[in-house]
């Protein structure tokens, strides 16, 4: 399987498993990996996020990602 097909499979799996919460899940995953300093992991999940956005009719990734990374308070 090519890396591109792997990312599509991962995006589909996230969408199936998390449904309406998929973007929140991906945003938290990216945030956790960024905190750990895992640049390759962040890159991978950003790619997955983009593909997930392609799967949804409204492409709400930017809203979800921005809202979950906003500082508390």
**Residue in 3, 2, 7, 5 with CA at minimum distance from that of residue 47:** 7
Percentage of the chain modeled with pLDDT above 70: 75
The 10s digit of each residue's pLDDT in 31-48 is 999 999 999 999 999 999
Cα(5)–Cα(22) distance, integer angstroms: 19
pLDDT at 20: 87
pLDDT at 57: 66
* Helical spans, DSSP H, in 1-73: 3-18, 22-36, 39-55, 61-69
pLDDT at 54: 85
> Structural domain boundaries of the chain?
3-67
Answer whether 68's CB lies under 8 Å from 24's CB: yes
Residue 28 has pLDDT above 80, yes or no: yes
């Amino acid at each position: 399987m090519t890396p591109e097909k792997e990312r599509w499979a991962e995006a589909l799996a996230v969408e199936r498993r998390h449904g309406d919460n998929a973007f929140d899940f991906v945003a938290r995953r990216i945030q956790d990996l960024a905190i750990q300093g895992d640049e390759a992991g962040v890159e991978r999940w950003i790619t997955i996020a983009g593909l997930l956005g392609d799967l949804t009719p409204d492409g709400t990734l930017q809203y979800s990602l921005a809202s979950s990374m906003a500082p508390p308070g």
